[in-house]
């Protein structure tokens, strides 16, 4: 791995942010909007006495972390789509840049964006709803890591699908988290799901992370069990995503799709 | 020693054969023209050389190595320009070239870029966004990108297409200078036969995926027209071959 090539990928997206206002609004707009909506809901429930103590922390904490996961996964895939839209894919493929370097660059820039977006959402929650997310941050960092790795796996898979099936399936970039969300138990415990959905839910790292979050917020301490389960599942999904990407990329090369991707 | 060796290369898409058992090589410092009518298989061949398309059969060796196993080393010494390759539209010319220069590990990036922009007559475009440029201006930026790493092998797919005569002359000057200074080998596809006659020491003529003639421009003219010519007449040969009239091989 060469640092200059990773830096070049970061530099490309820094220039992009300088010229494209929508890249900046994507980073800040959605996380903040999510928190505003969930904040009003919790206020409404609290005023009518329907909110048991601690639930506001579950809801807003979960909204902040889900926003972070969704933005990270989406931005990874959009970063690649930006190369597709500008017909820059083959230009990059004809340089010494390796896939690992490219992904490292994307990870660095999108991690930064996710941190900025999450910090903005947490700040809005603090200023407008007096919900302080920051005391939980240290205990939640391992679960945030679980979410980021899963976001990376989903981003790699979506990128592979775009390489193979071109932009015909680019809407997947924005919709795939919607598919995962009901199974991820973001705002409710696994026990709230019908029996047939529970094994599927438990097979997702997101579920393990949000169950872990609820335990921390409820004062039940840190769940190592949830963390190890989340990390193990992350490993499986990441390996599967990398293998799928490899197969999809090879298939695109055989079919000559890399030069026609748009 | 050849910098590029292509051996029995073929490519099928579905049931159709687009490139059919072609073999050729390019020596260090040589400018070779890859010619043929539309659909002859020129771009597919270039894309296979760059690893964008997997061949159905055959082998490719660049600098004596397989691209699959030596990708980083080969691409550090190779470059390309193709109308299929674009740039992020909102970025300026300078920003785009800075990114590529960093990818190639170019020392003194800004100075190198400004020098190339000057040599290609587009120094005034430095701060313009790509979306503000004409087709010909983009072609010149592509060439500047292609020269950034002083490549030992340059693959140019219709790279001078869309240039006005002045820009084409500047581009050809830079190409020949690069060849002189760095011994760069160039494989060059074009529909401009005058350029090819002027620049290429050897020509490979493709039709329907097969090599129908290979050699110096005059030899290729003779082989295709089946007449004894003293001077190259590649335009005439091109039209003759495109009509599908009988031809000689090599």
> Where does chain B hold its CATH 3.40.50.300 domain(s)?
2-77+152-242
Q: What pLDDT, on a 0 to 100 scale, did the predictor assign at position B228?
A: 87
The answer on pLDDT for A262 being more than 80 is no
- Write down the pLDDT at residue B250: 44
Instruction: Name which of A4, A94, A256 is nearest B53 (Cβ-Cβ).
Output: A256
The pLDDT score that the predictor gives to residue A60 is: 86
Which of B85, B107, B108, B127 is the best substitution to test chain A (most A C-beta atoms within 10 A)?
Answer: B85
Distance CA B9, CA B59 (A): 6
Mean pLDDT of A55-63: 84
Euclidean distance between CA atoms A199 and A214, whole angstroms? 19
Average pLDDT over residues B203-209: 94
Tell me how far CA of residue B220 lies from CA of A198, B9, B158, B227, B237, in angstroms.
72, 21, 20, 11, 8
Min Cα separation A159/chain B (Å): 17
The CA distance from B55 to the nearest CA of chain A, in Å, is 7
**Chain segment B56-111, per-residue pLDDT in tens:** 999 999 999 999 889 999 999 999 999 889 999 999 999 999 999 999 999 999 99
Average pLDDT over chain A reads 90
Sheet bearing B210-215, strands edge to edge: B78-81, B153-157, B185-189, B31-35, B202-207, B210-215
Out of A19, A82, A96, the one facing B103 most closely (by C-beta) is A96
Give contacts of B88 with chain A, Cβ < 8 Å: 12, 15-16, 82-83, 86, 88
> Would the CB atoms of A91 and B99 count as touching at under 8 Å?
no
- Cα dihedral A138, A140, A143, A148, rounded to 10, equals -70
* B97 CA: distance to closest CA in chain A (Å): 10
A260 to chain B nearest CA, in Å? 8
| Candidate from A133-147, B107-121, B207-221 with smallest mean pLDDT | A133-147
Nearest to A244 by CA among A170, A159, A122, A129: A159
Beta-bridge mates of residue B92: B129
Give the phi and the psi of residue B171 in degrees, each rounded to 5: -65, -40
Contact A94 B99 (CB under 8 A): no
pLDDT for A105 equals: 95
Q: Mark B7-45 as b/e (b = at least 16 C-beta within 10 Å).
A: eebbbeeeeebbbbebebbbebebbbbbbbbeebbbbbb
Query: CB B88 to CB A86 under 8 A?
Result: yes
The mean pLDDT value for A13-42 works out to: 86
Lowest mean pLDDT among A144-148, A158-162, A216-220, B70-74: A216-220
Nearest-Å Rg of the Cα atoms of chain B is 18
Q: Which of B51, B87, B95 sits opposite A86 (nearest CB)?
A: B87
C-beta atoms of B102 and A19 within 8 A: no
Q: Do B91 and A250 touch (CB under 8 A)?
A: no
Q: Which residue of chain A has the CA closest to B131?
A: A86
Among B151, B148, B180, smallest CA distance to B50 is for B151
Whether B75 sits inside 8 A of A95 (CB atoms) is yes
**Å between B228 CA and nearest CA of chain A:** 40
- Distance, in Å, from the CA atom of A2 to the CA atom of B132, rounded to the nearest integer, reads 33
Contact B50 A93 (CB under 8 A): yes
Mean pLDDT, residues B158-184: 84
pLDDT of residue B54: 95
Distances in Å between the Cα of A186 and the Cα atoms of A58, A146, A202, B8, B73 are 9, 14, 12, 57, 46
Whether chain A has a CB inside 8 Å of the CB on B75: the answer is: yes
CATH match of B2-77+152-242 with 3.40.50.620: no
Cβ-based neighbours of A123, under 8 Å, separated by 6 or more: none
Whether A185 contacts A211, CB under 8 Å: yes
A196 vs B240: CA distance, rounded Å: 70
- Using one digit for the tens of pLDDT, what is the confidence trace for A95-109? 999 999 999 999 999
Instruction: Say if residues A118 and A64 touch (Cβ distance below 8 Å).
Output: yes
Neighbours of B61 (CB within 10 A): 17
Of B53, B75, B99, the CB nearest to A12: B99
CB B84 to CB A16 under 8 A? no
pLDDT at B175: 84
**Span A162-182, pLDDT tens digits:** 999 988 888 888 888 899 999
Residue B79 sits at the chain A interface (C-beta within 8 Å): yes
Residues B211-230, mean pLDDT to the nearest whole number = 91
Is B53's CB within 8 Å of A250's CB? no
Residue B47 has pLDDT above 60, yes or no: yes
Residue of B nearest to A89 (CA): B85
Nearest CA in chain B to A92: B100
Percent of chain A with pLDDT over 70: 98
């Amino acid at each position: 791995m060469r640092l200059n090539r990773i830096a070049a990928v970061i530099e490309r997206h820094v220039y992009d942010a300088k010229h494209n206002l929508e890249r900046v609004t994507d980073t800040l707009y959605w996380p903040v909007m999510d928190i505003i909506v969930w904040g009003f809901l919790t206020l409404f429930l609290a005023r009518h006495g329907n909110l048991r103590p601690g639930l506001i922390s579950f809801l807003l904490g979960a909204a902040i972390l889900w926003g972070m996961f969704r933005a990270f996964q989406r931005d990874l895939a959009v970063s690649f789509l930006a190369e597709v839209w500008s017909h820059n894919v083959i230009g990059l493929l004809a340089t010494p840049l390796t896939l690992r370097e490219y992904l490292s660059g994307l990870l660095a820039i999108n991690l930064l964006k996710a941190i900025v977006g999450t910090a903005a959402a947490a700040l809005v929650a603090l200023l407008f709803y007096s919900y302080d997310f920051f005391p939980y941050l240290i205990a939640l960092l391992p679960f945030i890591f679980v979410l980021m790795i899963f976001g990376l796996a989903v981003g790699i898979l979506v990128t592979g699908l775009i390489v193979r099936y071109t932009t015909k399936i680019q809407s997947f970039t924005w919709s795939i988290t919607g598919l995962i969300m009901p199974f991820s138990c973001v705002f409710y415990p696994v026990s709230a799901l019908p029996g047939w959905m529970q094994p599927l839910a438990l097979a997702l790292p997101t579920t393990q992370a949000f169950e872990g979050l609820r335990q921390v917020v409820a004062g039940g301490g840190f769940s190592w069990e949830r963390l190890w389960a989340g990390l193990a599942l992350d490993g499986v999904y990441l390996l599967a995503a990398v293998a799928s990407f490899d197969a999809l990329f090879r298939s695109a090369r055989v079919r000559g799709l890399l030069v026609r991707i748009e | 020693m050849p910098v590029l060796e292509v051996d029995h290369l073929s490519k099928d898409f579905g049931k159709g054969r687009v490139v059919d058992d072609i073999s050729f090589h390019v020596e260090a410092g040589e400018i070779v023209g890859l010619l043929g009518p539309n659909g002859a298989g020129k771009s597919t061949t270039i894309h296979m050389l760059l690893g964008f398309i997997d061949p159905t059969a055959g082998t490719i060796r660049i600098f004596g190595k397989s691209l699959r196993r030596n990708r980083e080393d080969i691409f550090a010494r190779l470059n390309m320009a193709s109308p299929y390759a674009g740039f992020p539209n909102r970025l300026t010319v300078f920003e785009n070239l800075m990114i590529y220069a960093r990818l190639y590990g170019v020392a003194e990036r800004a100075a190198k870029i400004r020098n190339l922009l000057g040599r290609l007559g587009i120094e005034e475009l430095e701060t313009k966004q790509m979306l503000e440029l004409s087709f010909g201006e983009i072609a010149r930026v592509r060439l500047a990108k292609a020269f950034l790493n002083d490549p030992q092998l340059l693959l140019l797919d219709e790279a001078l297409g869309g240039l006005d005569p002045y820009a084409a002359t500047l581009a050809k000057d830079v190409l020949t200078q690069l060849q002189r200074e760095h011994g760069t080998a160039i494989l060059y596809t074009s529909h401009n036969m005058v350029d090819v006659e002027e620049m290429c020491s050897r020509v490979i003529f493709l039709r329907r995926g097969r090599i129908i003639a290979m050699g110096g421009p005059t030899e290729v003219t003779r082989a295709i027209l089946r007449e004894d010519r003293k001077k190259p007449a590649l335009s005439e040969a091109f039209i003759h071959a495109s009509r599908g009239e009988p031809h000689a091989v090599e």
